[in-house]
Structure 1
């Protein structure tokens, strides 16, 4: 990950180590965002060694309702050991924003495409992909942000790793604002509604990669208590006829 600083037409991209210490920089002087080619230097801030750098514009992602384009890759900030991700974006005419139409998984050493998966999701730039062990089997899986809803609600698509095939497949894990607990091996779904006045919390376990409900609670905001209070489900009255028999 690179931080940047732009001042007086000089762009400095800085790389830090795990402790946060800057160890290298890429400097473009001058920097012109409209230029098709940029020339600069890479500098090791520890040894002072420098190397020339030249980058060329591959494409841009023009916005606006009247523009349309397809299949432009965006490298993702998060990666796996030995693999990295790109999202594939396309923009239809009449739409203001591009959508993610696919996910590419590539080998870090060679850049070879290992797998491409079609999706249809809203895009979050370089932060569309997340990585975790979603089915608690010891292998890293990945998810992609799908859509944002009212309030803090959002959903993602979850892809699990098959160690035999060394491929990822779309899972049946789905819900609103899911949180995965590796200790209890449970999944918690939190769904808020009605302007935040009500929310439900449901806990699941995975059985053969299928979500099975364990517990569900519904909470309503109480003005008097100034807190959420659990709303109990009404108890069904027994049928008197059944009691007689």
Structure 2
């Protein structure tokens, strides 16, 4: 999972040409759209109908200033198509059409740019909210981004939890993390109590190493910082164990540490050191001190 996060971060951080949030309508129905335009004119993003706040995945491309987008459900089935004419990342107003897969229904699209989430030196802005790709039960999430003039990339300064359909703000969590765009939040049962918790991407390091912050759902329906710490943690709900894998030295060695959860605390069970052996062309377990 964390290796996937690293690959996503590489794509997000280095190849994104424009990141923009739009509001508008499909026919008479209010929507919010997040578009990530990449340097090869490919598009990735999500949009939601304000009536249900369920993110819908979208992807497409720009050709001759026409943006063609397919929307897909969780099973990757195409559920609709959008065509935006005279598309430009600088445009504040966009218009086009939405059609169903069979082409029997067609509705007008009207969008207004709410704001850009551009990076780069010398640009400063604050408190711009970005919808997240995942939801949990009757909740959806937004990260709050700010960028100082001297920073190259925006940072996540807060995580907001909303109630679907009513848009009621349920909780605001102050943080200071790197942004993974619409992929910053994930869900999972991180303390193995049968309830869905949330995680927020925190930072990427050398190689595939990453870290996240984990927030556990309490009996009052609030998310509390777990205090879980570690590099590239993975959670096995079947065995109820947490594994930490920490790469080092240009991938020539790594450590693996196994934890259980007791009283919502990570408890270390075992740890191992592996170093690549050129002769055997494989990683060989060594003494723990050899990886220190």
Q: Identify whether the pair has TM-score above 0.5, normalized to the shorter chain.
A: yes
1:96-245 to structure 2, matched below 5 A, reads 96-162=152-218, 164-232=219-287
Q: Which has the higher contact order (CA 8 A, sep 6+)?
A: 2
Cα distance, 1:19–1:117 mapped onto 2, change above 3 Å: closer
- 8 A Cα contact 2:197 2:217, kept in partner: yes
The alignment's TM-score, normalised by the length of structure 2, stands at 0.76
In the alignment of these two chains, the number of paired residues is 233
In 1, Cα distance between equivalents of 2:234 and 2:288: 24
In 1, Cα distance between equivalents of 2:157 and 2:92: 27
* TM-superposition CA deviations, 1:175-229 (whole Å, max 9, x none): 0000111111000111111222221111000000111111111112222222111
Q: Which runs of 5+ in 1 are unaligned?
A: 235-245
* TM-superposition CA deviations, 1:92-125 (whole Å, max 9, x none): 1111111111111112212221111111101111
Whether 1:36 and 2:92 are equivalent positions in the alignment is yes
Whether 1:66 and 2:142 are equivalent positions in the alignment is no
Q: Which runs of 5+ in 2 are unaligned?
A: 1-56
Runs (4 or more) in structure 1 with deviation over 6 Å come to none
Please report how far the alpha carbon of residue 16 of structure 1 lies from its aligned counterpart in structure 2 after TM superposition: 2.1
* TM-superposition CA deviations, 1:136-165 (whole Å, max 9, x none): 111111101111111111100000111x21
The alignment's TM-score, normalised by the length of structure 1, stands at 0.90
Secondary structure of 2:110's counterpart equals: strand
- 8 A Cα contact 2:272 2:288, kept in partner: no
Give the root-mean-square deviation of aligned CA atoms: 1.6
